[in-house]
Amino acid sequence: MAASDPMPVTGSEQPALTADPGAGKLAARVALRIERDIARAGWPIGHVLGSEPALQERYQVSRQVLREAIRLVEHHRVAAMRRGPFGGLVVCAPDARAATSAMLMYLEFANTTLEHVLAVRLAVEPLAAALAAEHITEPGIAELRGLLADEAATCPHPRSLNRLHLALARLCGNPALELFVQVLCALTARYDRGPNAASDRALADAHQAHRSIVAAVVAGETSPAQFRATEHLTALRRHLRERRPPLEATGAAETPNGVAGDVKLAELVAQQIIAEIRTNDWGPGTVIGSEAALLDRLNIGRSVLREAVRLLEYHSIAYMRRGPGGGLIINRPDPTASVQAIARHLRYRGTSPGHLCVLRGALELESVNHVSALTHDPPLDAELAGLACDDWHLRLAQLSGNPVLWLFLRILITLRSLPADPPPTDAEHDGITTALLGEDRALARYRMRHHLRRLDPVIVGRPSAPRP
Ligand SMILES: [Zn+2]
Ligand SMILES: [Zn+2]
């Protein structure tokens, strides 16, 4: 579904993500240019962009740089090189896989816990259920009922249970929400250690809950759909908390439900290295090992290791230092690459400002919920003083201590265009901060909602709202 305008979100010739592409390497910049040219051309799937020499000429780079750029473009699944007489770089229909795997890489590296994941699921999935009830169609009804039948037939199995969550997110008609739920379900699956004695009952309860959610969605009852989804996710959280050991990732490089499929070997190796970093709790600057030591330990070929290292470097997770005392060294987490991957995918899917706006509301209210429950040093008002609107919201999400919430919000904020002179927001921010300092969460939520509603005309690109 290539939209006629491939970048409706930013609405301008230059997408919002023009800043330094992560490592700032020439190949990464060339990859970004190729991808932008594809987006600008309306994402012509199957179109041949040009042969290797033609592309070298067009982007004015050496063959080596071009080849590295093409590897990145292929990793993003935006285009692929076809060999032979009619060969060249062919535009692909991007699936969500590249975007989700980039987010997963960053979030695993940023020490995401199951609690973080479930908090965000509770914030966004009930919204997906309500929107699905609003947009449901005959084929959608058939799909949901088919999934319920599959669940019943498999007794039900956790894998089949996940599919209903993904289907509701797809049927809600909001590509950003759909992508976020895919990531959340994949993350949840990574913490799942498989069935245990207590889970049979929980699985049966989950199936019943799915039936009642689907009944509300089919009937077009938005509030019951939302309420039942909230109840179901609360029960899921309770169940997962009771399991032992509770909040540790399995660290397995297992492919998440239908999201990653046949991940290339280099991606699996990169995931394995991330899992190792997490398990050993290694900080930035730690040398994971020399190339020779890694080849030996991971039992893989040099070309696979080099591609895995390229991926880790691209995602700013680690970098290879040559020479004596060198080796693969851990970086600080940097989400630039995953933010770009998601922005790329959501532009392709034709995400509208309205889609971003409704999702942002859910996330911001969740950040208010969590920040108010914490005590801060330095105090909250000092942390938030004097920040511009976008930075203020991102800082608040960061103070909530939930990396998933922060990453999702950063994506939404990155994707929407800012007006040249945004309306003043300091007084409203201060009002929210004051309510949070007084632990008055209800008032903080009210003020946040009011503030976002006033920003809404800016977000959706209508003329500025009247200033109060
Ligand atoms: Zn469920
Ligand atoms: Zn603001």
Q: Rounded CA gap, 372 and 368, in Å?
A: 6
| Residue that wins the pLDDT comparison between 103 and 224 | 224
Q: Which ligand is nearest to the CA of 458?
A: 2
Q: Rounded CA gap, 220 and 173, in Å?
A: 14
134 CA distance to ligand 2 middle (Å) = 29
Reading the block at residue 122, the tokens are 């509770």
Strand partners, 319: 329
232 CA distance to ligand 1 middle (Å) = 7
Q: Is the pLDDT of residue 365 over 90?
A: yes
Q: Which ligand is nearest to the CA of 148?
A: 1
Q: Which ligand is nearest to the CA of 430?
A: 2
Strand partners, 91: 79
164 CA distance to ligand 1 middle (Å) = 7
Q: Is the pLDDT of residue 212 over 70?
A: yes
Residue 201, exposed/middle/buried by CB under 10 A (0-12, 13-18, 19+)?
exposed
393 CA distance to ligand 2 middle (Å) = 6
Q: Which ligand is nearest to the CA of 393?
A: 2
Angle at 111 between CA 105 and CA 113, to 5 degrees: 105
Please write the tens of the pLDDT for every residue from 376-402. 677 888 888 888 888 999 999 999 889
161 CA distance to ligand 1 middle (Å) = 6
206 CA distance to ligand 1 middle (Å) = 5
Q: Which ligand is nearest to the CA of 167?
A: 1
Between 202-206, 261-265, 371-375, 408-412, the lowest mean confidence (pLDDT) is in 261-265
Mean pLDDT, all residues of the chain? 80
Q: Which ligand is nearest to the CA of 455?
A: 2
Q: Rounded CA gap, 71 and 303, in Å?
A: 13
pLDDT > 90 fraction of the chain, expressed in percent and rounded: 30
* 113-243 topology per CATH: Four Helix Bundle (Hemerythrin (Met), subunit A) (1.20.120)
396 CA distance to ligand 2 middle (Å) = 10
418 CA distance to ligand 2 middle (Å) = 12
Between 13-27, 32-46, 377-391, 438-452, the lowest mean confidence (pLDDT) is in 13-27
460 CA distance to ligand 1 middle (Å) = 32
Please write the tens of the pLDDT for every residue from 402-420. 999 999 999 998 887 655 5
Within this chain, domains 26-95 and 265-330 share the same CATH topology: yes
Q: Rounded CA gap, 430 and 418, in Å?
A: 21
Reading the block at residue 109, the tokens are 């590296």
260 CA distance to ligand 1 middle (Å) = 20
Q: Name the band, by pLDDT with cuts 50, 70 and 90, for residue 12.
A: very low
φ/ψ of residue 235, rounded to 5: -65, -40
Dihedral, 136, 137, 138, 139 alpha carbons, nearest 10: -100
390 CA distance to ligand 2 middle (Å) = 6
Q: Which ligand is nearest to the CA of 228?
A: 1
**By C-alpha distance, which of 208, 207, 226, 211 is closest to 133?**
226
* 265-330 topology per CATH: Arc Repressor Mutant, subunit A (1.10.10)
Q: Which ligand is nearest to the CA of 426?
A: 2
Q: Sketch the domain layout of the chain as residue ranges.
A: 26-95, 113-243, 265-330, 352-455
125 CA distance to ligand 1 middle (Å) = 10
Q: Rounded CA gap, 135 and 174, in Å?
A: 10
Residues 6+ away with beta carbon under 8 Å from 116: 402, 403, 404, 405
Architecture of domain 26-95: Orthogonal Bundle (1.10)
Q: Rounded CA gap, 132 and 226, in Å?
A: 10
pLDDT > 70 fraction of the chain, expressed in percent and rounded: 82
Q: Name the band, by pLDDT with cuts 50, 70 and 90, for residue 375.
A: low
408 CA distance to ligand 2 middle (Å) = 16
Q: Which ligand is nearest to the CA of 156?
A: 1
451 CA distance to ligand 2 middle (Å) = 7
Q: Which chain residues have CB less than 5 Å from ligand 2, an ion?
A: 389, 425
| Residue that wins the pLDDT comparison between 278 and 128 | 128
Between 5-19, 176-190, 292-306, 448-462, the lowest mean confidence (pLDDT) is in 5-19
Q: Which ligand is nearest to the CA of 384?
A: 2
Q: Name the band, by pLDDT with cuts 50, 70 and 90, for residue 104.
A: confident
Q: What is the mean pLDDT of residues 31-44?
A: 84
Residue 348: other Cβ atoms inside 10 A: 24
Answer for the pair 30, 435: CB distance below 8 angstroms, yes or no.
no
Q: Rounded CA gap, 69 and 57, in Å?
A: 14
Q: Name the band, by pLDDT with cuts 50, 70 and 90, for residue 372.
A: low
Please write the tens of the pLDDT for every residue from 249-258. 444 433 333 3
412 CA distance to ligand 1 middle (Å) = 26
Q: What is the mean pLDDT of residues 37-58?
A: 87
**By C-alpha distance, which of 86, 211, 66 is closest to 150?**
211
Q: Which ligand is nearest to the CA of 452?
A: 2
Q: What is the pLDDT of residue 19?
A: 33
- Amino acid code (one letter) for 424: P
Angle at 410 between CA 405 and CA 416, to 5 degrees: 130
Q: Which ligand is nearest to the CA of 168?
A: 1
419 CA distance to ligand 2 middle (Å) = 14
223 CA distance to ligand 2 middle (Å) = 28
- Per DSSP, the three-state class of 435 is helix
Q: Which chain residues have CB less than 5 Å from ligand 1, an ion?
A: 206
Please write the tens of the pLDDT for every residue from 108-140. 878 788 899 999 999 999 999 999 999 999 999
Residue 392: other Cβ atoms inside 10 A: 21
Q: Which ligand is nearest to the CA of 164?
A: 1
Q: Which ligand is nearest to the CA of 364?
A: 2
Q: What is the pLDDT of residue 158?
A: 67
Q: What is the mean pLDDT of residues 267-291?
A: 85
Q: Which ligand is nearest to the CA of 397?
A: 2
Q: Which ligand is nearest to the CA of 237?
A: 1
Strand partners, 287: 329
213 CA distance to ligand 1 middle (Å) = 9
Q: Which ligand is nearest to the CA of 450?
A: 2
366 CA distance to ligand 2 middle (Å) = 15
